[in-house]
Amino acid sequence: MMLYNLKDPQEQVSFTQAVRQGLGREQGLFFPSSLPHFEDIDTLLDMPFNQRSSEIISAVIGDEFSKEQVDALVEQAFQFQAPLAKVTDTISALELFHGPTLAFKDFGGRFMAQCLAAIRDDEKITILTATSGDTGAAVAHAFYGLENINVVILYPKGKISSLQEKLFCTLGGNIHTLAVDGTFDDCQALVKQSFDDLELISKFGLNSANSINISRLLAQTCYYFEAVAQLPKAQRQQAVISVPSGNFGNLTAGLLAKAMGLPVKRFIAATNENDTVPRYLESGQWSPNVTVPTLSNAMDVSQPNNWPRVEELIKGQNWSLADIGHGRLTDEDVKQSLTRLWEKDYLCEPHGAIAYQVLTEQLQEEEIGIFLCTAHPAKFKDSVDDILEMDIPLPAPLAKHAELPLLSHDISANHAELVDKMQHLLEI
């Protein structure tokens, strides 16, 4: 598998190099030069989840890993399911929160960790990543305790839920967490700035576990195949998938799956009030606003990193941006959507509620809707309890970490301060 840098197409790397490197020159994202196309899609969809996932990943990667190696990576990474839960006669929820940190990021984070563990030599690696909520926990737990790998996670102080914070800021060991006085976009900018510094990359052995790393996106394509596999064959061509969108890695993975032959009629990008992409699709003008905090904090992103990949894929497949549905919800809309779902006996959380509501508004006759539930409702216990007037019991992973003290360090959104703090934490 060869990938090229979207900002510098002359820079071409293998899959393993892209996993090691994360970003290309000029902070460019790596993108596949070609993708396999599965002709006998029904046979593929009839396979069990892990067997199918191994087939997909092997076809994309090529001969850089043996089929036996890919089988082992998948078995280690995907030790949980992604069930489709029926909400109405025509709409189902794809539940992506059955992994160890109760969020969809477990799929990509664990697969990336397994890839890095398989390809690294004896050199030390530092994973530097930013999170708007769920990436932090997934990456922290995926890499926790791995030899010669340190993890530094930046997150916007006071702008993620307390239980999200507890899940990854209480581990210690090789997991280092920094609460940044700023927004997620500020955190992301600090990460990008670090990857512009070749001396820093060499000094720390930097790599990133955001969805900018191609291994994470590859893993995420697998649950889109799993979603459609759970539909009756007669309904597959009418599938419409609504994706709660912040950094747009999740939508990118879905479009990659479609490019490989997955029968999806169309996708919908559902956002909160940080609506850079919906406004762009309507006006043609890319004009990010200042990020505003919302109930759906993992989507509080005004400058989504993965959007260039979406545009590259649309262009390469001769699709149209107009084919991507879009919509946005205010916090008040989210509260109403959560209530409507609960009235249908489905307990959701703000991100999934956004995807559901936009889907219901745009689903047409004869279409079958799927919306992504990206996190367990208990991760947003305070807001969900308040909106629905209930008391969600904490699942074991959350209950365990809720009682532990936070181990985070506060920093400002200043790159020099980040470097100093990393040198201290990693004793370099």
- pLDDT, tens digit, for every residue of 158-170? 998 888 899 999 9
Q: Let me know whether 219 and 309 are in one domain.
A: yes
Mean pLDDT of 167-174: 94
For residues 190 and 275, membership in a common domain is answered with no
Are β-strands 368-373 and 91-95 bridged in parallel, bridged antiparallel, or unpaired? parallel
Whether 63 is covered by a domain: the verdict is no
- In angstroms, the CA 113 to CA 127 distance is 10
What's the CATH code of the domain at 419? 3.40.50.1100
Same-domain check for residues 178 and 318:
no
- Helix/strand/coil for 172: coil
Both 167 and 309 in a single domain?
no
pLDDT in tens, 263-320: 999 999 999 999 999 999 999 999 999 999 999 988 999 999 899 999 999 999 999 9
State whether 266 and 348 are in the same domain.
yes
Q: Indicate whether 384 belongs to any domain.
A: yes
Number of domains in the chain: 2
Which ranges in 62-208 belong to alpha helices (H)?
67-77, 105-119, 134-143, 162-168, 184-195, 198-204
Question: Would residue 108 count as lying in a domain?
Answer: no
270 shares its domain with 366: yes
Instruction: Please check whether residues 407 and 384 belong to one and the same domain.
Output: no
- Is position 62 within any domain? no
Most confident of 120-129, 144-153, 225-234: 225-234
Q: Which pLDDT tens digit goes with each residue over 208-237? A: 776 678 999 999 999 999 999 999 999 999
The verdict on residue 74 lying in a domain is no
Within-domain flag for 31: no
- Quote the domain boundaries for residue 178: 124-204+403-426
Sequence-separated (6 or more) residues with CB below 8 Å from residue 217: 108, 211, 249, 252, 253, 256, 306, 309
> pLDDT grade, residue 128 (50/70/90)?
very high
Would you say residue 221 lies in a domain?
Answer: yes
Q: What is the pLDDT of residue 90?
A: 97
Output 291-296 pairs: Cβ under 8 A, ≥24 positions apart: 291/183, 291/184, 291/185, 293/159, 294/331, 294/334, 294/350, 295/331, 295/334, 295/335, 295/350, 295/380, 295/383, 296/244, 296/246, 296/272, 296/334, 296/350, 296/351, 296/353, 296/354
Q: Does the residue 418 lie in any domain? A: yes
Residue 372 shares a structural domain with residue 286: yes
Tell me: do 157 and 260 sit in the same domain.
no
Q: What is the C-alpha separation between 279 and 243, in angstroms, rounded? A: 17
pTM of the shown model: 0.90
| Same-domain pairing of 316 and 337 | yes
Helix boundaries (H) for 305-390: 307-316, 331-343, 350-362, 381-388
d(CA 136, CA 103): 10
Per-residue pLDDT tens for 357-390? 999 999 999 999 999 999 999 989 999 999 999 9
Pair 246, 295 in one domain = yes
* Same domain as 258, residue 184: no
